[in-house]
Amino acid sequence: MKLEEYKSGEYIKMNDYKAFIPSKINYNWGWDDTKLDKLLAEANRQIGELNAYSLLIPNVDLYIKMHVKIEANKSSRIEGTRTTVEEDLLDIIDINPEKRDDWEEVQNYVKAINYGVKRISEGFPVCNRLIREIHKILMTGVRGEHKAPGEFRISQNWIGGSMPSTAVYVPPPYTEISECLSDFEKFINNEKIDTPDLIKIAILHYQFESIHPFLDGNGRIGRLIVPLYIQSKGMLQKSCLYISDYIERNKDTYYDMLTRVRTRNDMIGWIKFFLEAVIETSKIAKEKFRRVVKLTMEMDKIVFELSVRSDNAKKVIDALYNEPVINRKKLCELTNIKESTIKNIINCFLDNNIIVETTGYSRNQIFTFKKYTDLFLK
């Protein structure tokens, strides 16, 4: 089927509103648009380079941990949370009570990503069961915990407005969810079609957001499916492509493009936007990895020249890569170095601008490996 001939679905009359039922997507998709060909080729090239680059970096999993933290922050911010990345790196005891609900939602997102990545690495496919499992992790113990974590909805939901009749968008009635998700899952794992994987995941993301199968958390789960699908298809051996930062920076366009698919059948326009997100995100990820490699080389040289024992200083630096926002007690625990020695190393690091103290207090101080965190935030 040609993307140019795509029909998005139909609206059905309910009581005092109309609900949208998206068309099925489990087809072998083709197209005539040459610009789409060019974008797809460039996106595949960028992902290929990112994959190669990630495999060359020592301790790459350590640096991917920061990518995951930022993805969790950005994807959650799209839904309204307001913690900063630096705050998300703190322990909950150090978080302003007014932001603790937001902090917990971001931590759940991190857990959900890590769980999904682990399941995929074990050979489990992206499927409705995995999506429910991830959703349960995302929503348990936070503000959406009463909205059936891990279960597809059995009531109507809507986006915008106080009720379906005033909503911006009303997804399919719950009675249609099973059939919609069955087609969705078949398309994910249909090996008989040769639709390129990046085209498939673009379509899948749109379809998931249109189905909106959960009472809450649909946006975050839909964005989380993207890196899991890419990993499952072997395009990246390390899960290091997260597009939520791009989406947050282009949020209005993102929502407009999804809406255009439903209202104008413009699936090609949405896929182009998605591929542009993949291209830019891949470039940024490669550049961040390059900067990390440069920083680690600089730090190794600086640590060797410090006035404190280099082996202990190296242990502290390695701990800071793992926990770049940290207090003295936790640093002692991670390094197994006694507190008096840690205190000397911290003072030395402060004097050499390796870390900064962020609270301004003389007690209960928090230190940030700003040279490292800035690489991911700029």
Encode pLDDT of 244-272 as tens digits: 999 999 999 999 999 999 999 999 999 99
pLDDT band at 321 (very low <50, low <70, confident <90, very high): very high
Q: Under CATH, what is the fold of the domain 306-377?
A: Arc Repressor Mutant, subunit A (1.10.10)
> Is the pLDDT confidence value at 59 over 90?
no
> What is the C-alpha to C-alpha distance for residues 33 and 334, in angstroms, rounded to an integer?
54
So what's the pLDDT on residue 60? 87
For residue 290, what pLDDT is reported?
92
Provide the pLDDT for residue 254. 97
pLDDT at 378 over 80: no
- pLDDT, mean over the chain: 95
Which residue spans of the chain are classified as CATH 1.10.3290.10?
A: 3-288
- Based on the number of CB atoms within 10 Å of its own CB, is 248 exposed (0-12), middle (13-18) or buried (19 or more)? middle
| Cβ proximity of 8 and 269 under 8 Å | no
Res. 368: pLDDT tops 90: yes
Strands annotated E in 18-107: 18-22
pLDDT digits (tens, 9 = 90+) for 128-170: 999 999 999 999 999 888 899 999 999 999 999 999 999 999 9
| pLDDT at residue 29 is higher than 90 | yes
- Kindly state the tokens that stand for 240: 């290091």
3-state secondary structure of 57: coil
Q: Residue 243: which of 287, 196, 283 has the closest Cα?
A: 283
Phi-psi sector, 63: left (phi>0), alpha (psi -120 to 50), beta: alpha
Indicate the pLDDT class of residue 174, thresholds 50, 70 and 90.
very high
* pLDDT band for position 57 (cuts 50, 70, 90): confident
SS3 369: coil
Q: What is the pLDDT of residue 177?
A: 97
Tokens representing 322 are 């793992």
pLDDT in the model for residue 22:
98
Mean per-residue pLDDT for 77-86?
91
208: pLDDT strictly greater than 90: yes
- Ranges of CATH 1.10.10.10 domains, the chain: 306-377
Which one is predicted more confidently, 53 or 223? 223
Determine the average pLDDT of the residues in 316-331: 93
How far is the C-alpha of 83 from the C-alpha of 98, rounded, in Å?
10
What pLDDT is attached to residue 307?
A: 79
State the pLDDT at residue 304.
85
Question: How confident is the model over 330-334, as a mean pLDDT?
Answer: 94
Whether pLDDT at 62 is above 90: no
Residue in the structure block whose two tokens are 């197994």? 336
Confidence of residue 332 (pLDDT cuts 50, 70, 90): very high
Per-residue pLDDT reduced to its tens digit, 296-320: 999 989 988 887 788 999 999 999 9
- Per-residue pLDDT band at 234 (split at 50, 70, 90): very high
3-class secondary-structure state, position 11: strand
Q: Are 226 and 243 in contact (CB under 8 A)?
A: yes
The pLDDT value recorded for residue 376 is: 87
pLDDT at 144: 81
CATH number of the 3-288 domain:
1.10.3290.10
For residue 94, the SS3 value is helix
pLDDT at 201 over 90: yes
Structure confidence at residue 362 as a pLDDT band (50, 70, 90):
confident
Bridge partners of 77, per DSSP, are none
Structure pTM?
A: 0.94
